[in-house]
Amino acid sequence: MHSTPADGRAGIDAALVKRLIAGQFPQWSNLAVTPVEVDGWDNRTYRLGDDMSVRLPTAAGYVPAVDKENYWLPRLAPSLPITVPTVLAAGIPGDGYPFPWSVRAWLPGQTADPERIDDMSQFAISVAEFLRALQCCDAADGPVAGAHSFYRGASPAHYEEETRRCLAALADRVDTARAAVVWEAAVSAEHSGAPVWFHGDIASGNLLVADGKLTAVIDFGTCGVGDPACDLVIAWTMFSGESRQAFRQAVDLDKSTWARARGWALWKALLLLAQSVDTDRERAGAQQRVIDDVLTDHDDFG
């Protein structure tokens, strides 16, 4: 997620949202429309009055998530221990905006920055408990991992070519020999269990906290049914030391799943490092730390 206000991608701004609301949901047309403090990349979110929000995809590739979330969130919510978004209305293209969109109940809380969390190990356990509950939801008719989930829930091998390109580009900055071993272990560790629900983007920006504790999980746009390994990436992107160990124990998944999870984390960190290595020292340093931790994790547990 990004901390800047709406930048007009796909022509989205507060005036457009006001027009869409007035034309399709006139009962809310008198409510203020304001950008949220922390917004996303795939979707733009605006606060609607005090109790609602409007969520609009920024490009065609994110459109499948709209109907998916509208249909599945109310079906998953009763089985989950943490609040998830409540969809109040489904909007249609209009006023020059070409995509479906939605109105949701406003969820209080702030994104899960470490300084807002009282006990990181307990927070890690809460995230793991949410994932275990999600994995226990009935997956029989759920959306099978594929393009709609950007292949989260499938094998990380989908990103083989991209990962190899990044390894070649970063040969002077990453221990590419060790990284290649981790990647090869990930793509060879096939998922053999029953397909289960996954979120697809468990990250600090999609976890809300209040009073130091996890209160909500948002942005199910990449969710689906398949391999849950992609949901373990947070072990390296947010947790460390005791909290990482607490998460590992609480989520209780097998060695093969963790091998694939390391592949997902490595692919994304290599990609982000390659994009930022010469332009954003802070971001590049964060991705370098993720890569180092993933390689060490493979040495310790692989």
- Nearest alpha-carbon partner for 85 in 110, 53, 122, 46: 53
Instruction: Show Cβ contacts of residue 215 under 8 Å, excluding neighbours closer than 6 positions.
Output: 82, 83, 107, 108, 109, 208, 209
Give the C-alpha separation, 297 to 109, whole Å.
Answer: 32
pTM > 0.75: yes or no: yes
pLDDT reading at 96 higher than 60: yes
Does domain 9-106 correspond to CATH entry 3.40.50.720?
Answer: no
pLDDT reading at 79 higher than 90: yes
pLDDT reading at 48 higher than 90: yes
pLDDT reading at 47 higher than 60: yes
pLDDT of residue 10: 58
Give the C-alpha separation, 231 to 198, whole Å.
Answer: 7
Confidence tier at 9 by pLDDT (50, 70, 90)? low
Confidence tier at 116 by pLDDT (50, 70, 90)? very high
For the chain, the structural domain boundaries read 9-106, 111-301
Query: pLDDT digit string (tens) for 27-39?
Result: 999 999 999 987 7
Return the amino acid letter for 21: I
Query: pLDDT digit string (tens) for 185-210?
Result: 999 999 999 999 999 999 999 999 99
Average pLDDT for the chain: 95
Give the C-alpha separation, 228 to 240, whole Å.
Answer: 20
Q: Tokens standing for 278? A: 């010469």
Q: What percent of the residues of the chain are helix, what percent strand, and what percent coil, each to the nearest 5?
A: 50, 15, 35
pLDDT of residue 39: 79
Confidence tier at 146 by pLDDT (50, 70, 90)? very high
pLDDT of residue 35: 93
Compute CA distances 189 → 134, 152, 154, 215, 259, whole Å. Answer: 22, 15, 12, 34, 7
CATH class for the domain made up of 111-301: alpha beta
Query: pLDDT digit string (tens) for 236-278?
Result: 999 999 999 999 999 999 999 999 999 999 999 999 999 999 9
pLDDT of residue 1: 34
